[in-house]
C-alpha cells in the first residue's frame, strides 16, 4: 500500500487521485484517437464533459446509497466528500449510461450505439484506476494464503484490485481483436461476469450487502441480463 506517492518540501501527491486523473486522461485520449470521421470533435467534447459530471455524481450517489456507517447528511456535508475518495465505479457507469441515453434522445448523433467506440478506452482507463485503488489500499481482497498475496490492513490478502486491472486489460484486448462486433453487448456481458466473479474475493463491505451479494454484484447481474436481452433482440431482428 502506497497512498502517498510524493511528500517533498510541502508538496504531497496521493496515488488515488493521481491515478483517477490519469484514468480520465488516458480514456479521453484513446477515445479521441478512435473518433469516427462522421462525429465532430465538438460533439465528442460535449459528450465527454457531460459524461464526466454525470459519472462523478453517479459514483458518489451509489456510494451514499450503499453506506450504513454514516448518515447521508454526514457524508454530503463532509468537506472532502465530493472532491475526495468514495467513488463507486458502477455508480459512475450507471450515471454516465443514463446521461448518454438521455442525450441520445436529443442529439441522435450521440446515441449510445454511436458512442460504443469509447468502451475499449473505458476498459483501459478503468484498469489504470484500479492500480490507483491498489496503491491506496481501498477495494481490498479477502484473506489469502496464495504466494502472491499482499499484506494489507493487518492480513495477507488477495490483490483483487490487480486481478481486476488484468481482467480489464484482457477484456479490452478481446474486444479489440476478437469481439469487435456488438461492442456494447460484449462489454456488458464481459465486465458483468468479471465483476460479479471478483466480488467474491473482495474483503471490504463498503458496497453494501443485500441477499448475500454485494450491490456491485446485483448491478453486474443487471448488466449481464441486459446483454442477454440485447443479444436475443439482435438475433430475432437478423432472423426477420
Residue 23 pLDDT:
96
- With bands split at pLDDT 50, 70 and 90, how would you rate the model's confidence at 123? very high
Cβ–Cβ < 8 Å for 173, 114? no
Cβ–Cβ < 8 Å for 47, 19? no
Q: For the chain, give percent helix, strand, coil, nearest 5.
A: 65, 10, 25
In Å, the largest CA–CA distance within the chain is: 69
Overall residue count recorded for the chain in this entry: 240
Grid coordinates standing for 211? 441477499
- pLDDT of residue 130 exceeding 90, the answer is yes
Grid coordinates standing for 95? 450515471
Residue 207 pLDDT:
62
Environment class of residue 140 by beta-carbon count within 10 Å: exposed (0-12), middle (13-18) or buried (19+)?
buried
pLDDT tens sequence across 36-64: 998 999 999 999 999 999 999 999 888 88
- With bands split at pLDDT 50, 70 and 90, how would you rate the model's confidence at 35? very high
Q: Indicate the domain borders of the chain.
A: 13-239
- With bands split at pLDDT 50, 70 and 90, how would you rate the model's confidence at 212? confident
Grid coordinates standing for 231? 443479444
Radius of gyration over every alpha carbon of the chain, rounded to an integer in angstroms:
19
Give the number of other CB atoms < 10 A from CB of residue 188. 25
Pairing of strands 11-14, 4-8: antiparallel
Residue 195 pLDDT:
97
Grid coordinates standing for 137? 489500499
Q: What is the pTM of this model?
A: 0.90
Query: Phi/psi zone of residue 154: left (φ > 0), alpha (ψ -120 to 50 degrees), beta?
Result: left
* Averaged pLDDT for residues 114-140: 95
Could you write out the DSSP letters of every residue in 65-78? HT--SS-HHHHHHS
Q: Average pLDDT, whole number, for the chain?
A: 88
Most confident of the following: 52-66, 157-171, 174-188: 157-171
Q: Closest Cα partner for 188 from 128, 229, 129?
A: 229
Grid coordinates standing for 32? 479521441
Amino acid at each position: 500500500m502506497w497512498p502517498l506517492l510524493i511528500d517533498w518540501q510541502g508538496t504531497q501527491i496521493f496515488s488515488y487521485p493521481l491515478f483517477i486523473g490519469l484514468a480520465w486522461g488516458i480514456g479521453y485520449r484513446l477515445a479521441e484517437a478512435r473518433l469516427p470521421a462522421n462525429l465532430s470533435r465538438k460533439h465528442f467534447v460535449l459528450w465527454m464533459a457531460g459524461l464526466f459530471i454525470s459519472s462523478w455524481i453517479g459514483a458518489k450517489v451509489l456510494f451514499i446509497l450503499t453506506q450504513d456507517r454514516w448518515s447521508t447528511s454526514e457524508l454530503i456535508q463532509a468537506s472532502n466528500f465530493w472532491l475526495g475518495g468514495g467513488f463507486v465505479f458502477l455508480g459512475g457507469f450507471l450515471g454516465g449510461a443514463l446521461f448518454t441515453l438521455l442525450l441520445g434522445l436529443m442529439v441522435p448523433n450521440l446515441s449510445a450505439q454511436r458512442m460504443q467506440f469509447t468502451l475499449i478506452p473505458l476498459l483501459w482507463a478503468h484498469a489504470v484506476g484500479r492500480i490507483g485503488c491498489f496503491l491506496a489500499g481501498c477495494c481490498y481482497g479477502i484473506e489469502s494464503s496464495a504466494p502472491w498475496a499482499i499484506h494489507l490492513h493487518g492480513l495477507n490478502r488477495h490483490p483483487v484490485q490487480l486481478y481486476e486491472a488484468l481482467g480489464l486489460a484482457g477484456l479490452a484486448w478481446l474486444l479489440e481483436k476478437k469481439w469487435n462486433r456488438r461492442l456494447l453487448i460484449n462489454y456488458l456481458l464481459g465486465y458483468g461476469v468479471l465483476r460479479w466473479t471478483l466480488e467474491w474475493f473482495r474483503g471490504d463491505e463498503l458496497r453494501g450487502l443485500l441477499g448475500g451479494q454485494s450491490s456491485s454484484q446485483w448491478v453486474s447481474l443487471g448488466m449481464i441480463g441486459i446483454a442477454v436481452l440485447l443479444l436475443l433482440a439482435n438475433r430475432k431482428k437478423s432472423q426477420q
